Amino acid sequence: MDNKKILITLVCGFLGSGKTTFLNQYMSKILKDNEKVALIVNEFGDFDVDGHILDETALSVSMIQGCICCDLQDDLVMQLQQLAQQGVTHIVIEATGVANPIEMLSACQDPLIAHLFARPTTITLVDSLRLLQPEKLSEATQTLMYDQIRASQQVLLNKIDLLENQNQRDEVVQQVAELAPYSQIVLAKYAEAQEIVQQGSGVGREQMLSSTQPHVHYDTLSYHFTHPVSREQLIQFILNVPDQVLRMKGYIQFRDQPNETFLLQYASGLPSLESVGEINILTTLVIIGEHLDKPALKNKLELLQFG
């Protein structure tokens, strides 16, 4: 590899797999190596949640209102070209959870910019629990997750601590090894590596990089809260989230703590709530799923807001 070429790292993984948690750790590590790093964050929706979560330690660019593997592919090529002119040595791209990295790899090697960049490195995070429950996902979503795994040099099997026993762990490792026989497989908790279970060689991986389906289209709904909400009503809202909802992420405030903001996340049926302190930010929730009944969801959010 030509050392003068700019490095590109793609961080991929389906909705709720732990990409942002991983990125906070990964960015800190590479910044210690004195690299001039740029971060491109792609959000599927009209509100940039991750841009506020990630530490502001690198040149950061948000790309919203579309997916960079299809809708914003030309924009990505142009953005990479501009960052190259700014003298960066390493560009990290956090793809939206519904992006197909196989198509993104093509954009990163566009003839307009191929001479500037080294061949991209792809890291995919996988929600181990979700991988074990394919019956809860549509066939299109399963295929997308498998494509994300196939495209990677390194696969982080995240949330390994949520598996019940060794048999389940062996099962998810075997699934990934069959999909990505040339990739490194790493067991992880909270997006932090615990154990390498397959070293990977990278040899032969290129022959597997062909997308098995057209881009999967998901629905997104953004709701902007104007006032703090009731904790009890939020719990009821989460308990009644329809199966079509794959991911929720955003900021919310409560009536009993109106000055404190919380990061709300939901994936694989599991919610999490984390205080981010007294910050000035829009309290907005982004919901992503398949065949969402947006009017019904909006009505429920209105009840949460004004009930």
Query: What per-residue confidence (pLDDT) applies to 225?
Result: 94
Burial 166-199 (b: 16+ CB within 10 A, else e): eebbeebbebbbebbebbbbbbbeebeeeeebbe
The Cα–Cα gap between 255 and 230 comes to 6
Residue 97: pLDDT band (50, 70, 90) is confident
Residue 95: pLDDT band (50, 70, 90) is confident
Q: Is the pLDDT of residue 208 over 60?
A: no
Query: Could you give the 3-state DSSP secondary structure of residue 55?
Result: coil
159: left (phi over 0), alpha (psi -120 to 50) or beta: left
Domain locations in the chain?
7-198, 218-304
CB atoms within 10 A of CB 29: 8
Nearest to 94 by CA among 189, 6, 27: 27
117 DSSP 8-state letter: B
- In the predicted model, what is the mean pLDDT of residues 142-158? 92
Residue 50: pLDDT band (50, 70, 90) is low
Query: What per-residue confidence (pLDDT) applies to 72?
Result: 57
Query: What per-residue confidence (pLDDT) applies to 204?
Result: 47
The Cα–Cα gap between 107 and 71 comes to 12
What's the mean pLDDT when you consider all of the chain?
84
Topology alike, domains 7-198 and 218-304: no
Query: What per-residue confidence (pLDDT) applies to 236?
Result: 94
Tens of pLDDT, residue by residue over 21-36, are 898 888 888 887 767 8
Query: What per-residue confidence (pLDDT) applies to 209?
Result: 52
Residue entry with tokens 């990977």:
200
Higher pLDDT: 95 or 214? It is 95
- In the predicted model, what is the mean pLDDT of residues 219-239? 92
Residue 66: pLDDT band (50, 70, 90) is low
Tokens at 113, concatenated: 């910019």
Q: Is the pLDDT of residue 8 over 90?
A: yes
Tokens at 201, concatenated: 């060689």
Strands 121-127 and 154-158: parallel
- Domain with residues 218-304, CATH architecture: 2-Layer Sandwich (3.30)
- Domain with residues 7-198, CATH architecture: 3-Layer(aba) Sandwich (3.40)
Q: Cα dihedral sign for 135, 140, 143, 149?
A: negative
Percent residues over pLDDT 90 in the chain: 44
Query: What per-residue confidence (pLDDT) applies to 247?
Result: 85
Q: Cα dihedral sign for 237, 239, 243, 245?
A: positive
From 29-33, 76-80, 123-127, the region with the lowest mean pLDDT: 29-33
Q: Is the pLDDT of residue 106 over 50?
A: yes
Residue entry with tokens 């390493």:
90
Beta strands in the chain (DSSP E): 7-13, 37-42, 59-63, 90-94, 121-127, 154-158, 184-189, 192-198, 219-224, 245-254, 257-267, 270-277, 284-289
Higher pLDDT: 289 or 195? It is 195
From 62-66, 95-99, 230-234, 244-248, the region with the lowest mean pLDDT: 62-66
The Cα–Cα gap between 69 and 99 comes to 6
243 DSSP 8-state letter: T
